[in-house]
Structure 1
Amino acid sequence: MPNFSANIIYLFNEIDLIDRISAAAAVGFRAVECQRPYEIPPAVFRNLLDAHGMELALINTPVHPSWPHASGIATYPDRTSAFREIASSAIEYATSVGCPRLHVVAGKLDNNVNPMAAEETFLNNIVWAADKGRSLGVKILIEPLNANDNPEYFLTTAAQANALLTRANHDNLFLQYDLYHAGMNGENVIDGARTYLHIIDHMQMAGVPERNEPDTGTVNMLAAFDAIDVLGYKGWIGAEYRPSRSTAESFTWGNPYGIGPRAPSS
C-alpha cells in the first residue's frame, strides 16, 4: 500500500503550523513534510513528532527573500557562499529534527544569469550539499517544477534532473518526483515513475491542473498510486495539494489508505 505524508504547508492551514502535526496524525498520516519548518525550533518540532509517533519526511532549503514566489539561489554563481551557508543550516536543522531528506530549491533563470553557468553552479552546489549531507545522514533531493506554474525556473523536467544526477554521479543525490508537476508537463506520470524509479527517493502529488485533491482533474492519480505501489516504491508520497474545501473534507481520496477523519469514540 502506498505511504502518504501530509504536506503541512498546503494542508491544515486552518490552524497554526505548530498544531498541524497533531492534526495530520489524527486523520491517519504517519509522516509530514514541510517546506518551511524553520519558525519552529527543531527540538520543539522533534518533540511534537515523537509525541504523535510521526516522521518528518522532507524539508526544503530556505528560499531567497528577493524572489516573491519562493525561488532558491543554488543556481546563482555570485551567491555560492550564501547558498552554502543556508544549505548548511538546513542540513543541521534536518539532523536535529530527525529528517532524512532535504530538497535543495534550485532557482530561476533571468537575463542576468547565463544558463550554462547556472547549470555548473547548481551541479557544484548540490554535490557540495550531498557531501555534507552524507556525513550527517541527510539525503539531498532535487525537484523539477513545471514551467507553466514556475516561469524561468531552472529545473523543469525529470529528464533534465536525471541528466544532472547522472553528471553528478553521487550516491547521496536523488530525484524528488512530483506527479503534479510531471502531469502539468504533459508527461505520463506512471511511465515517469517507472523510468526514474532508481533515482527517486520521495514523491509528491496533487490533481492536475488545479492542484486540488488528487481524485480531481485530468490525470488519474489514484491509478498512478496503485501502479507506483506495484513498481515496488516504498517511500513517501507527499500530499501537496490545495484543498478545494476544508482540509478535513478533502480526504475522500485517502479513505482506501486509512486517511480521513475518525469517528468519535463512544
Structure 2
Amino acid sequence: MMRIRFSANLGFLWNERPLPQAVRAAARSGFDAVELHWPYAVEPALLRQALAGSALPVLGLNTTRGDPEAGEFGLSALPGREKDARAAIDRALAYAAEIGAASVHVMAGKTDHPDARATFIGNLRYAADRAAPMKTTILLEPLNSHDVPGYFLTDNALAARLIGEAARDNIRIMFDCYHVGRSGKPVLEEFTAHRALIGHVQFAAVPDRSEPDHGHVDYATLLPALAESGYQGHFGAEYRPRGTTEDGLGWLARWR
C-alpha cells in the first residue's frame, strides 16, 4: 500500500503557538510537511531555522488579504488594485524564496466587477512570470460561497479556464476537497475532471471544517483513491480543530 504524505496547515493547526513552535509540533506529530497562510509577521530566518531543524519542507503560503477590517480577502481580481496586488505577489514570492516554499497561492478577492476576470488573468501572468526563475508554482484556489460570500473564484472549471487563458506553465489549481464538498459537488468527480491542472490538495470535514474523520466526505476512502489516480503530492490538513490540535490527531495515525 502506498504511503500517503500529509501536510499540516499551520494557519489552523497549532495556530495558538508562535509559528516556529508550530513547525516543531507538526514534526513531532508525524506530519511530512507544513503549509502556511500569512506568515509575514515572523522573521523568515526564524522560520527557516525551525524548518531546517524539523527536516520538514514548506509547501506554500498565501498572498496577503489586503485590508481584512474592510472585508478584503485577496486583491488580485480587483480592478484598480493592480499595484497593491502585485506588491502582495512580490512580497509573497520573496518570503517564499527566503524559507524555501514551493508555491504561492494568489488570492483573487471578493468582487463581481465585469473586469475582474481580465484583472485576475493579468495578475496571474505577472505572478507566474516572476515565479518562473525561482521554480515556484503559482496556485489559485476556488472557495465556497458559504464561507466566503462574494469571492470571485468559486469553481474549479473557471479556475481551469483562467489557467488556460493565462497561458503560463507554472500555474495550478489548489484543489480543496472541503470547498468542493461544501459547494455540494462530488469531490472525486471534480478531482478527476481537473486532475491534469491540480498542484495541491487540501481537505477538512464537510460541512463543519473540523477533523476529517467524520462528515459527508469519507476521506479514509477518498484520499487513497486520489493517490491511486496518480496524484503524487501531499494532502494538506487545513481544518479547524474542535479542541486542541493534538487531541484531534487520531485520524493521522489511523490513516498511515
**Which TM class, normalised by the smaller chain length?**
over 0.9
How far does residue 245 in structure 1 lie from its aligned partner after superposition?
A: 2.0
| CA shift digits 1:182-233 (9 cap, x unpaired) | 0011111111111211111111100000001111111112211011011111
Moved over 3 A (4+): 66-70
- Structure 2 Cα separation of the partners of residues 84 and 14 of structure 1: 30
Could you tell me which runs of 5 or more consecutive residues in structure 1 were left unpaired when the two chains were aligned: 259-266
Q: Percent identity?
A: 37
Structure 1 letter corresponding to 2:175: Y
TM-score (norm 2): 0.95
| Residue 132 (structure 1) aligns with | 130
Matched, 1:23 2:25: yes
Q: CA 1:121/1:195 → structure 2, altered by over 3 Å: closer, same or farther?
A: same
Contact 2:19-2:47 at 8 Å conserved across structures: no
CA contact (8 A) 2:4 2:227 kept: yes
1:146 aligns with 2:144: yes
Contact 1:143 1:178 (C-alpha < 8 Å) held by counterparts: yes
SS at match of 1:11: coil
Q: Distance in 1 between matches of 2:173 and 2:134?
A: 19
Matched position secondary structure for 1:21: helix
Within 2, Cα distance between the matches of 1:243 and 1:68? Answer: 27
Q: 8 Å contact 2:173–2:197 — kept in the other structure?
A: yes
Shift in Å, 1:92: 1.0
Aligned to 2:106: 104
Partner of 2:178: 180
Of structures 1 and 2, the one with the larger relative CO (CA 8 A, separation 6+) is 1
CA–CA separation in structure 1 for the residues paired with 2:235 and 2:41: 24
Which residue, out of 221, 224, 241, partners 2:219? 221
Query: Are 1:9 and 1:17, in contact at CA under 8 Å, matched by a contact in 2?
Result: no
Pair 1:16–1:129, CA change in 2 (3 A) = same
Q: Distance in 2 between matches of 1:75 and 1:237?
A: 27
CA distance in 2 between counterparts of 1:172 and 1:13 reads 30
Q: 1:242 aligns with which of 235, 240, 243?
A: 240
Partners of 2:231 and 2:57 in 1: CA distance: 18
Over the aligned positions, Cα root-mean-square deviation in angstroms equals 1.4
Residue of structure 2 in register with 1:189 after alignment: 187
State the 1:252 CA deviation.
1.8
Name whichever of 8-17 and 180-189 sits farther off.
8-17
Q: Which residue of 2 aligns with 1:263?
A: none
Amino acid of the residue matched to residue 133 of structure 2?
S
